[in-house]
Copies of this chain bind each other. A is one copy, B any other.
Amino acid sequence: MTKSSTAAKPRQRSTAAPTGREIRTGVVAFKQARILEEAAALFFEKGYEAATLEMLADRLSATKPFLYTYFKGKAAILCAICELGVTESLAALDRIAETERTSIDLLKASLREVAKIIIDRNEYLVVYQREMMNLDRTDAQRILRLRHEFDLRIGKMIEDCVRDGYITVPDAPAMSIWIGGLLSWITYCYRPGSSRSGDAVADQAMKACLRLIGLD
Contact = CB atoms under 8 A, between A and B. Distances in A.
B214 A208 contact: no
A11 interface: no
A180 B174 contact: no
A189 interface: yes
Contacts of A46: 133
Given A185-B178, A185-B181, A47 B49 contact: yes
Assembly of this chain: how many copies?
2
B47 A131 contact: yes
Contact of A214 (B134, B189, B216): B216
A216 to B, nearest CB: 7
B178 A208 contact: yes
A177 interface: yes
Contact of A212 (B129, B189, B208): B208
Nearest to A179: B208
Contact of A204 (B45, B133, B174): B174
A50 interface: yes
Contacts of A178: 182, 185, 204-205, 208
A182 B211 CA distance: 13
Contact of A133 (B45, B181, B205, B211): B45
Nearest to A169: B211
Interface string A40-61: 0000011111100000000000
A145 interface: no
Interface string A16-57: 000000000000000000000000000001111110000000
A80 to B, nearest CB: 19
Contacts of A213: 211
Contacts of A181: 181-182, 184-185, 188-189
A186 to B, nearest CB: 8
Query: Which 4 pairs show the lowest CB-CB distances between chains A and B?
Result: A181-B185, A49-B49, A178-B208, A130-B130
